[in-house]
Structures are given as C-alpha cells and as structure tokens.
Amino acid sequence: MPRIVVANDQSISEAAALLQAGEIVVLPTETVYGLGANALDSDAVSKIFKAKKRPSFNPLIVHVIDKQAASKLVEMDERAQKVADAFWPGPLTLILPRKENSGISDLVTAGLETLAVRVPSHKIMRKVMKEAGVPIAAPSANSSGEPSATTPQHVAQSLGDAAPFILAAGACDVGLESTVLDLSGEVPIILRPGAVTSEDLEPYLGQVEIDMGAHEKPQSEIKSPGQLLKHYAPKIPVRLHAVDVQQDEALLAFGSIKFMGMKAGGHVKDMPDTAFRNLSESGDLNEAAKNLFMMLRDLDKPEHKAIAVMDIPNQGIGVAMNERLQRAAKKYSPKDIK
Ligand code: TXA
Ligand code: MG
C-alpha cells in the first residue's frame, strides 16, 4: 500500500528530497492532486507515464513558483504577462512557445513546440516546490482515463502501489483541473474549461475561443492531445439530464430533489446513502465543483447500474463541470444503460 503522509515540515522536506532524487511524489494542489516529478529529469518523468499508464503523446503541465520562473521556460508575450499577473498563483495553465535550452525533459512536451506552465497557489505545494528548487511536472494523480483524484484516499484507490508516497492535505479546494489556455497562436483558446472562465479572461485578452470538442477533429487539427482521450470516466455508465431515477441507479443530485421521481416508486430522499450524493443542496456551483470527482468516485460501485446526474447550470465553473460530465458519459452509448 502507498504511504499516505500528512503534510508537515518533516514530510514536506521528505517529499522535496524524493523529488530531487528522481522519484515520483503525489502532491496536493488547489485544483486536484498531482503526481509530481522533477521536470528536468527524463528518468523521473518517465515514471509518471508508467505509474498512470499515460500514453506518451499526452504532454504534462510544468509547475513553477512564479511568473519569473515560468519566463525561463516559455516565451511570455504581453498577453501571457497580463493573465499571469491577474490569475497566478491559481488554477490557470498557459500553453506557450517553449524556450530552447530550458532543460525541460522532452518527455514532458511529447515532442510539441509548446509547453504548459502553471503557478499553483496551494501552500503545501508551494513549500515543496521551494524546497525542491526544480520545476515539477505533474499530471492529475489518477490512472489515465479515470476521474481526477481530489482526496489522498482517492489517489491511493486509483494508483495503488504505483504512487508509493502521497503527501496528504485533505480535499482540494477547487476540485476540478486548471483551465488550460492556449496562447501560442493569435487567438486565445481555452482547451480545457476550469475555475478561471472565459468571462474572467476576456477583460485582459479580448475575445477568447473555447475549443472543447477537439477530440472530434482530425488528428492534424488537435491542439491538446489530452482532448483525444475519453477522460474522467467512472467504471459504470453515467446518464446525464436525469429527471428521474431508474431501478438500481445511483443519483448524483444538484440542488433541490423535490421534483425528482423514482421509476420503481418511493422517494429519492429515502434512497440508501450509498446510492445518493448531492453536489450542493443550496445549488452553489463552487461547492458542487469541489464535490464532483469525489462524489462520482463514491457512487462508482458495481452494484449500481449507472450514475444518473441532474442538470447543472451551464455558467461560471458549471461550464467546466458539464464538460467533465459529458466526457464521462460519452464513454457509453445510451444502449449500454439497460
Ligand atoms: O489542475 C491541473 O491542471 C492539474 C494539477 C495537478 O496541476 N494537472 C492536470 O494535468 O490536470 P493533466 O496532465 O491531467 O492535464 C493536462 C492537460 C492535458 O489535457 C494535456 O493534454 C494538456 O493539458 N497539455 C499539456 N501540455 C500541453 C501542450 N503543450 N499543448 C496543449 N495541451 C497540453
Ligand atoms: Mg488528468
């Protein structure tokens, strides 16, 4: 079993030392847990791909302590400076032209001319980064294709012994992965929606495009290789737009359940605790985002036929939640849910 070690001065130093020694370490961030390695060390980075069973064509995000450290790795134009000043540290990843001789392992970029950089705000993550003193490559700490993990226990469930050291700091605040913003071309494009929304970015950048459907395009047009994959999928089917619950389904609710019906009779409020979660009883989108992956994992049990999910308003961070849910549901066609 992996070691789940509560973060304190000693364990933070241990995590930093492991990173310096070329090992992989699970680290808390404000978005989701990350599986970190020294981004300058190809052997260390290769351990990430192996532990996650991640295809080598899918590049990683490099985490750095501040904008200055980022500007050593990538070309930061005026637009990048502006959004970095406004949103770093925080849940925003920038895709920018990479600088030559930055020392970043070629495995991190998967052969692309661009590099993804992010300055996380999580206190523990920042302490580890300061002590380690190297840029940290870190994808979400889950097996490739599964929902991201937002608690140390879910990391352990997903990766098992493949990630032997987990630096634990409770549930992640945001609960969804960072917004990925591509600034390598003329038009700013959101490749993955997150807590930083297009409305948040537009005052700094003018119009921002959102391109979340890139996985349906021909390979040559794909900007973010991660978009190719059917990400975020639980093991059992996910049924969206639920207005009722069918026999043997679990329910992931949002807001009031007053008008939810049960196909088999009875009341949703009497469903067993194991088959029912509410993302936010009060309809708070930030609370719901924080709970999304955690609750999907809670309900992802073989005794359930599917997870029925109520509609979530498509605004603010709701856009990002709906994108994750659509991908989770896409893995299955409606005929799979019998
Ligand atoms: O919140 C987050 O971003 C978390 C925490 C740990 O920081 N990390 C995370 O990493 O979600 P990952 O690897 O699970 O997702 C990174 C996404 C992938 O879809 C990948 O394809 C895309 O970013 N990406 C990375 N480098 C890219 C690049 N150079 N161009 C386009 N997309 C890139
Ligand atoms: Mg991921």
Q: What is the CATH number of the domain that holds 186?
A: 3.90.870.10
Tell me which residue has tokens 């990350």: 34
In a shared domain, residues 117 and 177:
yes
The model's pLDDT over 134-144, given as tens digits with 9 standing for 90+, comes to 999 999 999 99
pLDDT at residue 230 is higher than 60: no
In the structure, which protein residues have their CB atom closer than 6 angstroms to any atom of ligand 1? 29, 31-32, 34, 58-61, 93, 95, 109, 112, 114-116, 118, 138-140, 177-178, 180, 191-192, 223-226
Q: How confident is the model at residue 216 (pLDDT cuts 50, 70, 90)?
A: very low
In a shared domain, residues 263 and 191:
no
Q: Which amino acid, 258?
A: K
In a shared domain, residues 203 and 55:
yes
Query: pLDDT at position 330, please?
Result: 83
Q: What is the CATH number of the domain that holds 324?
A: 3.40.50
Rounded Cα distance, 80 and 40, in Å: 23
In a shared domain, residues 204 and 277:
no
Query: pLDDT at position 154, please?
Result: 96
What average pLDDT does this structure show over 286-295? 98
Cα 231 vs. chain centroid, distance in angstroms?
10
Cα-Cα-Cα-Cα dihedral sign, residues 65, 69, 74, 78: positive
pLDDT at residue 302 is higher than 60: yes
DSSP state of 41: -
Decide which of 188, 221, 254 is a domain's last residue: 221
In a shared domain, residues 190 and 242:
no
From the CA of 1, how far away is ligand 1's center (Å)? 27
What domain count does the chain have? 2
In a shared domain, residues 148 and 53:
yes
pLDDT at residue 217 is higher than 50: no
Quote the tokens at residue 85.
Answer: 């000043």
What average pLDDT does this structure show over 270-298? 97
Assigned domain for 135 exists: yes
For the full predicted model, state whether its pTM sits above 0.85.
Answer: yes
In a shared domain, residues 160 and 60:
yes
Rounded Cα distance, 308 and 155, in Å: 24
Rounded Cα distance, 247 and 239, in Å: 13
Assigned domain for 205 exists: yes
In a shared domain, residues 32 and 121:
yes
Cis amide leading into 89 (omega within 30): yes
For the CA of 93, the closest atom of ligand 1 is 3
In sequence order, the β-bridge partners of residue 114 are: 97
Print the domain residue range for 277. 238-337
Q: How confident is the model at residue 223 (pLDDT cuts 50, 70, 90)?
A: low
Quote the tokens at residue 50.
Answer: 């192996």
Please list all protein residues whose beta carbon sits less than 5 angstroms from ligand 2, which is an ion.
Answer: 140
The model's pLDDT over 138-179, given as tens digits with 9 standing for 90+, comes to 999 999 989 999 999 999 999 999 999 999 999 999 999 999
